Amino acid sequence: MQHKTVKAVMVAGAHDVRYENQDIAWDSDQVLVKVERGGICGSDIHYFLHGRAGMSVLKSPMVLGHEFVGIVEQAPQESNLLAGQRVAINPSQPCQQCDICRSGKQNLCRSMRFMGSAQFYPHVNGGFAQHVVVAPEQCIPYADNVEAKVIAFAEPLAVCIHGIKQAGDLTGKRVLVTGAGPIGCLVIAAALASGATEVVATDLSERCRALALKMGAASVWDPRDEEVVGAWREKGGSFDVCFEASGAAAAVASVVAYTRPGGIIVQLGMGQAEITYPIGPLLVKEVQLRGSFRFVDEFTTAVRWLETGKIDPLPLLSAELPMDQAVDALELAADKERAAKVQLVF
Protein backbone atom coordinates (compact mmCIF):
# COMPACT_ATOMS: atom_id res chain seq x y z
CA MET A 1 0.00 0.00 0.00
CA GLN A 2 1.16 3.51 -0.83
CA HIS A 3 -0.20 6.62 0.90
CA LYS A 4 -0.63 10.29 0.15
CA THR A 5 -2.34 13.31 1.69
CA VAL A 6 -4.36 15.40 -0.75
CA LYS A 7 -6.75 18.35 -0.59
CA ALA A 8 -10.38 17.43 -1.20
CA VAL A 9 -13.82 19.07 -1.34
CA MET A 10 -15.73 17.38 1.45
CA VAL A 11 -19.45 17.70 2.25
CA ALA A 12 -20.49 16.94 5.84
CA GLY A 13 -24.10 18.15 5.70
CA ALA A 14 -26.33 20.93 4.40
CA HIS A 15 -24.23 24.08 3.78
CA ASP A 16 -21.23 22.34 5.28
CA VAL A 17 -18.64 21.97 2.52
CA ARG A 18 -14.99 22.10 3.48
CA TYR A 19 -11.75 22.11 1.61
CA GLU A 20 -9.77 19.60 3.66
CA ASN A 21 -6.84 17.22 3.79
CA GLN A 22 -7.69 13.62 3.06
CA ASP A 23 -5.51 10.53 3.23
CA ILE A 24 -5.64 8.22 0.26
CA ALA A 25 -4.02 4.79 -0.11
CA TRP A 26 -3.61 2.56 -3.13
CA ASP A 27 -2.53 -0.95 -3.94
CA SER A 28 -0.41 -2.17 -6.84
CA ASP A 29 -3.55 -3.20 -8.78
CA GLN A 30 -5.08 0.30 -8.56
CA VAL A 31 -4.56 3.52 -10.50
CA LEU A 32 -3.51 6.84 -8.99
CA VAL A 33 -4.99 9.70 -11.00
CA LYS A 34 -4.11 13.38 -10.72
CA VAL A 35 -7.47 15.11 -11.14
CA GLU A 36 -7.53 17.93 -13.71
CA ARG A 37 -11.08 19.19 -13.40
CA GLY A 38 -14.62 18.19 -12.54
CA GLY A 39 -18.14 19.36 -13.34
CA ILE A 40 -20.61 20.18 -10.58
CA CYS A 41 -23.74 18.06 -10.95
CA GLY A 42 -27.26 18.57 -9.64
CA SER A 43 -26.61 15.89 -7.04
CA ASP A 44 -23.50 17.72 -5.74
CA ILE A 45 -25.67 20.83 -5.41
CA HIS A 46 -28.37 18.85 -3.55
CA TYR A 47 -25.82 17.45 -1.05
CA PHE A 48 -24.51 20.98 -0.53
CA LEU A 49 -27.94 22.57 -0.08
CA HIS A 50 -29.85 19.81 1.72
CA GLY A 51 -27.38 17.13 2.88
CA ARG A 52 -29.16 14.71 0.58
CA ALA A 53 -29.73 14.07 -3.13
CA GLY A 54 -33.04 12.46 -3.96
CA MET A 55 -33.18 9.25 -1.94
CA SER A 56 -29.46 9.36 -1.00
CA VAL A 57 -28.95 10.89 2.45
CA LEU A 58 -25.51 11.84 3.84
CA LYS A 59 -24.69 9.81 6.94
CA SER A 60 -20.99 10.73 7.14
CA PRO A 61 -18.68 13.25 5.42
CA MET A 62 -17.94 12.46 1.79
CA VAL A 63 -15.78 13.89 -0.99
CA LEU A 64 -18.08 15.37 -3.66
CA GLY A 65 -17.86 14.93 -7.41
CA HIS A 66 -18.46 12.26 -10.03
CA GLU A 67 -17.91 14.14 -13.31
CA PHE A 68 -14.15 14.42 -13.51
CA VAL A 69 -11.12 13.83 -15.69
CA GLY A 70 -7.45 13.49 -14.89
CA ILE A 71 -3.99 12.26 -15.76
CA VAL A 72 -2.69 8.81 -14.84
CA GLU A 73 0.14 9.14 -12.34
CA GLN A 74 0.68 5.47 -11.44
CA ALA A 75 -0.93 2.40 -12.98
CA PRO A 76 -0.50 -1.36 -12.75
CA GLN A 77 1.71 -2.69 -15.54
CA GLU A 78 -0.91 -5.15 -16.81
CA SER A 79 -3.55 -2.38 -17.10
CA ASN A 80 -2.22 -0.93 -20.42
CA LEU A 81 -2.56 2.52 -18.84
CA LEU A 82 0.52 4.72 -18.97
CA ALA A 83 1.70 7.46 -16.64
CA GLY A 84 0.90 10.82 -18.21
CA GLN A 85 -2.13 9.49 -20.10
CA ARG A 86 -5.28 11.65 -19.92
CA VAL A 87 -8.36 9.75 -18.85
CA ALA A 88 -12.05 10.23 -18.22
CA ILE A 89 -13.07 8.46 -15.01
CA ASN A 90 -16.20 6.33 -14.98
CA PRO A 91 -17.42 6.89 -11.40
CA SER A 92 -19.50 3.72 -11.46
CA GLN A 93 -18.33 0.49 -9.81
CA PRO A 94 -21.06 -2.14 -9.93
CA CYS A 95 -20.38 -5.41 -8.10
CA GLN A 96 -20.68 -7.45 -11.36
CA GLN A 97 -21.93 -10.38 -9.27
CA CYS A 98 -25.49 -9.69 -8.12
CA ASP A 99 -28.47 -10.96 -10.15
CA ILE A 100 -29.08 -7.46 -11.57
CA CYS A 101 -25.47 -7.02 -12.72
CA ARG A 102 -25.58 -10.46 -14.30
CA SER A 103 -28.71 -9.49 -16.21
CA GLY A 104 -26.67 -6.67 -17.82
CA LYS A 105 -28.23 -3.79 -15.88
CA GLN A 106 -25.13 -2.85 -13.89
CA ASN A 107 -26.47 0.68 -13.37
CA LEU A 108 -29.08 -0.87 -11.07
CA CYS A 109 -26.58 -3.02 -9.10
CA ARG A 110 -27.85 -4.00 -5.67
CA SER A 111 -24.59 -2.93 -4.04
CA MET A 112 -23.32 -0.23 -6.39
CA ARG A 113 -20.28 1.77 -5.42
CA PHE A 114 -20.68 5.11 -7.20
CA MET A 115 -18.13 7.82 -6.50
CA GLY A 116 -19.47 10.89 -4.71
CA SER A 117 -22.80 9.21 -3.91
CA ALA A 118 -24.44 8.60 -0.54
CA GLN A 119 -26.81 6.00 -2.04
CA PHE A 120 -25.19 3.22 0.00
CA TYR A 121 -23.30 3.23 3.29
CA PRO A 122 -20.36 3.53 3.71
CA HIS A 123 -20.46 6.28 1.09
CA VAL A 124 -17.93 6.27 -1.73
CA ASN A 125 -15.71 9.35 -1.93
CA GLY A 126 -15.94 11.36 -5.13
CA GLY A 127 -13.41 12.94 -7.43
CA PHE A 128 -13.21 16.54 -6.22
CA ALA A 129 -9.71 16.03 -4.86
CA GLN A 130 -6.17 16.63 -6.07
CA HIS A 131 -5.68 12.87 -6.55
CA VAL A 132 -8.04 9.90 -6.59
CA VAL A 133 -7.56 6.14 -6.52
CA VAL A 134 -9.62 4.15 -9.03
CA ALA A 135 -9.69 0.75 -10.71
CA PRO A 136 -8.04 0.40 -14.15
CA GLU A 137 -11.41 -0.37 -15.79
CA GLN A 138 -12.75 3.01 -14.60
CA CYS A 139 -10.17 4.86 -16.72
CA ILE A 140 -11.16 5.69 -20.31
CA PRO A 141 -8.22 7.22 -22.22
CA TYR A 142 -9.06 9.95 -24.72
CA ALA A 143 -7.26 11.71 -27.55
CA ASP A 144 -4.60 14.22 -26.55
CA ASN A 145 -5.91 16.95 -28.81
CA VAL A 146 -9.27 17.14 -27.01
CA GLU A 147 -9.75 19.58 -24.15
CA ALA A 148 -10.33 18.23 -20.64
CA LYS A 149 -13.26 20.62 -20.19
CA VAL A 150 -15.07 18.85 -23.05
CA ILE A 151 -14.42 15.34 -21.75
CA ALA A 152 -15.57 16.39 -18.25
CA PHE A 153 -19.09 16.25 -19.75
CA ALA A 154 -18.80 12.48 -20.31
CA GLU A 155 -20.72 11.49 -17.17
CA PRO A 156 -23.80 13.68 -17.69
CA LEU A 157 -23.78 12.84 -21.40
CA ALA A 158 -23.66 9.13 -20.52
CA VAL A 159 -26.77 9.67 -18.38
CA CYS A 160 -28.49 11.23 -21.41
CA ILE A 161 -27.43 8.53 -23.88
CA HIS A 162 -28.76 5.93 -21.44
CA GLY A 163 -32.04 7.86 -21.21
CA ILE A 164 -32.29 7.85 -25.00
CA LYS A 165 -31.66 4.12 -25.05
CA GLN A 166 -34.53 3.72 -22.60
CA ALA A 167 -36.80 5.45 -25.14
CA GLY A 168 -35.82 3.08 -27.98
CA ASP A 169 -35.30 4.15 -31.60
CA LEU A 170 -35.75 7.92 -31.97
CA THR A 171 -35.46 7.96 -35.76
CA GLY A 172 -38.09 10.29 -37.17
CA LYS A 173 -39.58 10.97 -33.76
CA ARG A 174 -40.97 14.22 -32.39
CA VAL A 175 -39.46 14.78 -28.97
CA LEU A 176 -40.22 17.03 -26.00
CA VAL A 177 -37.68 17.76 -23.28
CA THR A 178 -39.04 19.35 -20.10
CA GLY A 179 -36.30 21.08 -18.11
CA ALA A 180 -33.35 22.65 -19.93
CA GLY A 181 -30.63 22.39 -17.32
CA PRO A 182 -27.37 20.65 -18.31
CA ILE A 183 -29.06 17.22 -18.53
CA GLY A 184 -32.06 18.48 -20.52
CA CYS A 185 -29.75 20.36 -22.89
CA LEU A 186 -27.50 17.33 -23.43
CA VAL A 187 -30.61 15.20 -24.06
CA ILE A 188 -31.62 17.66 -26.80
CA ALA A 189 -28.24 17.28 -28.53
CA ALA A 190 -28.10 13.52 -28.00
CA ALA A 191 -31.68 13.02 -29.27
CA LEU A 192 -30.86 14.91 -32.46
CA ALA A 193 -27.65 12.90 -32.85
CA SER A 194 -29.82 9.79 -32.47
CA GLY A 195 -32.19 10.60 -35.31
CA ALA A 196 -35.02 12.63 -33.75
CA THR A 197 -36.47 14.96 -36.37
CA GLU A 198 -37.66 17.68 -34.03
CA VAL A 199 -36.88 18.45 -30.42
CA VAL A 200 -38.89 20.99 -28.46
CA ALA A 201 -37.91 22.10 -24.96
CA THR A 202 -39.52 23.84 -22.01
CA ASP A 203 -38.08 25.61 -19.00
CA LEU A 204 -39.29 28.33 -16.65
CA SER A 205 -35.98 30.15 -17.07
CA GLU A 206 -35.34 32.26 -20.15
CA ARG A 207 -31.59 31.67 -19.75
CA CYS A 208 -32.10 27.89 -19.87
CA ARG A 209 -34.40 28.20 -22.88
CA ALA A 210 -31.71 30.16 -24.75
CA LEU A 211 -29.20 27.39 -23.99
CA ALA A 212 -31.67 24.77 -25.23
CA LEU A 213 -31.82 26.59 -28.58
CA LYS A 214 -28.02 26.64 -28.73
CA MET A 215 -27.97 22.88 -28.13
CA GLY A 216 -30.29 22.30 -31.08
CA ALA A 217 -33.91 22.64 -29.92
CA ALA A 218 -36.20 23.64 -32.78
CA SER A 219 -38.29 25.75 -30.42
CA VAL A 220 -38.45 26.50 -26.70
CA TRP A 221 -41.40 27.44 -24.52
CA ASP A 222 -42.23 28.69 -21.09
CA PRO A 223 -44.50 25.97 -19.62
CA ARG A 224 -46.69 28.78 -18.24
CA ASP A 225 -47.55 29.80 -21.83
CA GLU A 226 -51.05 28.30 -21.80
CA GLU A 227 -51.66 28.86 -25.49
CA VAL A 228 -48.72 26.77 -26.65
CA VAL A 229 -48.83 23.98 -24.09
CA GLY A 230 -52.62 23.85 -24.53
CA ALA A 231 -52.09 23.16 -28.23
CA TRP A 232 -49.75 20.27 -27.37
CA ARG A 233 -52.54 18.65 -25.35
CA GLU A 234 -55.03 18.74 -28.23
CA LYS A 235 -56.20 15.43 -29.73
CA GLY A 236 -54.61 13.52 -26.87
CA GLY A 237 -51.04 14.83 -27.08
CA SER A 238 -48.39 15.73 -29.64
CA PHE A 239 -45.04 14.12 -28.84
CA ASP A 240 -43.83 10.59 -29.60
CA VAL A 241 -41.27 10.69 -26.81
CA CYS A 242 -40.97 13.01 -23.82
CA PHE A 243 -37.87 13.29 -21.66
CA GLU A 244 -38.75 14.74 -18.28
CA ALA A 245 -35.47 16.29 -17.16
CA SER A 246 -36.60 18.73 -14.47
CA GLY A 247 -37.94 16.59 -11.64
CA ALA A 248 -40.33 19.47 -10.88
CA ALA A 249 -43.75 18.28 -9.71
CA ALA A 250 -45.67 20.45 -12.21
CA ALA A 251 -43.56 19.23 -15.14
CA VAL A 252 -43.75 15.57 -14.16
CA ALA A 253 -47.52 15.75 -13.82
CA SER A 254 -48.08 17.61 -17.11
CA VAL A 255 -45.95 15.48 -19.44
CA VAL A 256 -48.58 12.73 -19.81
CA ALA A 257 -50.93 15.26 -21.43
CA TYR A 258 -48.30 16.22 -24.02
CA THR A 259 -47.49 12.63 -24.97
CA ARG A 260 -49.41 11.12 -27.89
CA PRO A 261 -51.42 7.92 -27.35
CA GLY A 262 -48.97 5.02 -27.27
CA GLY A 263 -46.04 7.37 -26.66
CA ILE A 264 -43.15 7.05 -24.25
CA ILE A 265 -42.04 9.15 -21.30
CA VAL A 266 -38.53 8.79 -19.91
CA GLN A 267 -38.12 10.18 -16.38
CA LEU A 268 -34.59 11.58 -15.98
CA GLY A 269 -35.14 14.46 -13.57
CA MET A 270 -34.76 13.66 -9.92
CA GLY A 271 -36.91 15.89 -7.75
CA GLN A 272 -39.32 15.11 -4.97
CA ALA A 273 -39.53 11.38 -4.32
CA GLU A 274 -43.34 11.44 -4.55
CA ILE A 275 -45.56 13.46 -6.85
CA THR A 276 -49.32 13.43 -7.53
CA TYR A 277 -49.61 11.78 -10.94
CA PRO A 278 -52.37 11.70 -13.63
CA ILE A 279 -52.61 7.93 -13.74
CA GLY A 280 -55.95 7.99 -15.68
CA PRO A 281 -54.54 9.59 -18.86
CA LEU A 282 -51.45 7.37 -18.60
CA LEU A 283 -53.68 4.30 -18.62
CA VAL A 284 -56.19 5.21 -21.33
CA LYS A 285 -53.45 6.46 -23.68
CA GLU A 286 -51.21 3.48 -22.94
CA VAL A 287 -48.35 5.87 -22.38
CA GLN A 288 -45.25 4.04 -21.23
CA LEU A 289 -43.46 5.66 -18.34
CA ARG A 290 -39.83 4.55 -18.04
CA GLY A 291 -37.29 5.43 -15.39
CA SER A 292 -33.70 6.14 -16.36
CA PHE A 293 -30.85 6.06 -13.87
CA ARG A 294 -27.16 6.59 -14.57
CA PHE A 295 -25.66 4.42 -17.36
CA VAL A 296 -23.95 1.15 -18.21
CA ASP A 297 -21.51 1.10 -21.16
CA GLU A 298 -22.85 4.45 -22.36
CA PHE A 299 -19.99 6.13 -20.48
CA THR A 300 -17.45 5.03 -23.10
CA THR A 301 -19.89 6.00 -25.87
CA ALA A 302 -20.14 9.47 -24.32
CA VAL A 303 -16.33 9.87 -24.25
CA ARG A 304 -16.20 8.91 -27.94
CA TRP A 305 -19.06 11.28 -28.91
CA LEU A 306 -17.30 14.18 -27.16
CA GLU A 307 -13.88 13.21 -28.50
CA THR A 308 -15.11 13.16 -32.09
CA GLY A 309 -17.16 16.35 -31.76
CA LYS A 310 -20.46 14.57 -32.38
CA ILE A 311 -21.75 16.72 -29.53
CA ASP A 312 -20.33 20.07 -28.46
CA PRO A 313 -21.14 20.60 -24.77
CA LEU A 314 -19.23 23.87 -24.33
CA PRO A 315 -22.24 26.22 -24.63
CA LEU A 316 -23.24 24.70 -21.29
CA LEU A 317 -19.98 25.54 -19.52
CA SER A 318 -20.69 28.75 -17.61
CA ALA A 319 -17.66 29.08 -15.33
CA GLU A 320 -14.40 27.46 -14.25
CA LEU A 321 -13.22 28.04 -10.66
CA PRO A 322 -10.21 26.79 -8.70
CA MET A 323 -10.98 23.98 -6.23
CA ASP A 324 -10.41 26.14 -3.13
CA GLN A 325 -13.42 28.20 -4.27
CA ALA A 326 -15.67 25.14 -4.21
CA VAL A 327 -18.34 26.79 -2.03
CA ASP A 328 -18.60 29.76 -4.40
CA ALA A 329 -18.70 27.34 -7.32
CA LEU A 330 -21.51 25.30 -5.73
CA GLU A 331 -23.51 28.47 -5.00
CA LEU A 332 -23.02 29.65 -8.56
CA ALA A 333 -24.02 26.25 -10.00
CA ALA A 334 -27.13 26.23 -7.80
CA ASP A 335 -28.38 29.48 -9.37
CA LYS A 336 -29.99 28.58 -12.69
CA GLU A 337 -30.31 32.28 -13.54
CA ARG A 338 -26.52 32.62 -13.49
CA ALA A 339 -25.05 29.28 -14.53
CA ALA A 340 -25.54 25.93 -16.25
CA LYS A 341 -22.45 23.73 -15.76
CA VAL A 342 -19.68 24.96 -13.47
CA GLN A 343 -16.33 23.15 -13.42
CA LEU A 344 -13.76 23.06 -10.63
CA VAL A 345 -10.14 23.13 -11.69
CA PHE A 346 -7.60 21.24 -9.54
Contact positions toward Zn ion, by CB under 5 A?
A: 41, 94-95, 98, 101, 109
Q: How many angstroms separate the CA atoms of 84 and 175, rounded? A: 42
Closest CB 313 distance from Zn ion, rounded Å? 13
Shortest separation between residue 155's beta carbon and Zn ion, angstroms: 5
Residue 149: CB minimum distance to Zn ion, A: 15
Least Å distance, CB 44 to Zn ion, is 8
Question: C-beta of 273: minimal distance to Zn ion in Å?
Answer: 18
C-alpha–C-alpha distance, residues 157 and 162, integer Å: 9
Give the nearest distance from C-beta 320 to Zn ion in angstroms.
17
All residues at 6 or more sequence positions from 298 whose CB lies less than 8 Å from its CB, including other chains: 158, 159, 161, 162, 165
Number of other residues whose CB lies within 10 A of the CB of residue 262 = 12
Query: Is residue 317 helix, strand or coil?
Result: strand
Angle at 89 between CA 43 and CA 339, to 5 degrees: 40
Shorter beta-carbon distance to Zn ion: residue 36 or 44 = 44
Shortest Cβ 134–Zn ion spacing (Å): 17
Name the nearest CA neighbour of 181 among 67, 337, 344, 14.
Answer: 337
d(CA 291, CA 247): 12
Pick 109 or 241: Cβ nearer Zn ion: 109
* Nearest residue (CB) to Zn ion, 58 versus 264: 58
Cβ-proximal residues to 339 (8 Å cutoff; 6+ apart), any chain: 318, 319, 332, 333
Closer residue to Zn ion (CB): 94 or 223:
94
Going by their DSSP bridges, the two strands 288-291 and 198-202 should be labelled as: unpaired
- Amino acid code (one letter) for 32: L
Asked if 47 and 93 count as a contact pair (C-beta separation under 8 A), the reply is no
Q: 68 or 239: whose CB is closer to Zn ion?
A: 68
If the CB atoms of residues 229 and 345 are measured against Zn ion, the closer one turns out to be: 345
Q: How far is the CB of 99 from Zn ion (least distance, A)?
A: 8
Question: Among residues 45 and 167, whose Cβ is nearest to Zn ion?
Answer: 45
| DSSP annotation of 249 | H
Q: Rounded to an integer, what distance in angstroms lies between the CA atom of residue 175 and that of residue 136? A: 38
Q: Which is nearer to Zn ion, 81 or 151 (CB)?
A: 151
Find all residues with CB under 8 Å of 115, minimum gap 6, and list them. 65, 66, 89, 91, 92, 93, 124, 125, 126, 127, 132, 134
**Alpha-carbon span 143 to 158, nearest angstrom:** 18
**In the bound complex, what is the minimum distance in angstroms from residue 218's beta carbon to Zn ion?**
26
Q: At 153, which amino acid appears?
A: F
Q: Which is nearer to Zn ion, 101 or 215 (CB)?
A: 101
CA dist 308 and 97 (Å) reads: 33
